[in-house]
Amino acid sequence: MNKHPLRVFKETPGSTLQELKDLLAEDVVFSSPIFTREVKGKDLVAKVMFTSTTVREGHFTHEFKQDNDTVLIWEGKIDGHKLVSFELIVDDEQGKIKYRSVAFKPYPVVELFRDAMYEVLKDLIPEDMWHLQPQ
């Protein structure tokens, strides 16, 4: 089985932001538990995804593919604590990523990851995407 292009990107040292952008559809949607709503659009999604590779370390342990859907499991560390992610990637007909959803565990370590991401992206991602707003 061939590895998903996103996995190849993340496993290739020195990969660039532009190379990541080349993997994404223009209208890509990214769902993550660290945000209150989905991140949309190639440029913003690429920046978020690229930043995540700079604040944690690890490797993929599993990959499952069916048609245009791929599931990846990743294990690594942030600040010395184990972090595991499960992600679903949906590619369009041209092989570009049109949707990516990621889940993490355990929750206390997810908070460390979120805090690290916030420090880098707080000026790019609107404040209401980091915190729930009063109802």
Q: What is the mean pLDDT of each run of 10 residues along the chain (135 residues)?
A: 93 95 98 96 97 93 97 96 98 97 97 96 95 84
| Cβ-contact 96, 84 below 8 angstroms | no
Q: Would you state the pLDDT for residue 134? A: 82
Instruction: Write down the pLDDT at residue 27.
Output: 97
pTM of this structure: 0.93
Structure tokens at 38: 């989905």
pLDDT of 13 reads 92
Domain range 5-128, its CATH number among 3.10.450.50, 3.90.480.20, 3.40.50.720, 3.20.20.70: 3.10.450.50
> Could you give the C-alpha distances from 63 to 17, 86, 87, 92, 97, in angstroms and in order?
23, 10, 10, 18, 16
Q: Could you tell me the residue ranges of all domains in the chain?
A: 5-128
Q: What is the pLDDT of residue 116?
A: 96
If we measure between CA atoms, which residue out of 25, 28, 18, 23 comes closest to residue 7?
A: 23
| pLDDT of res. 11 | 94
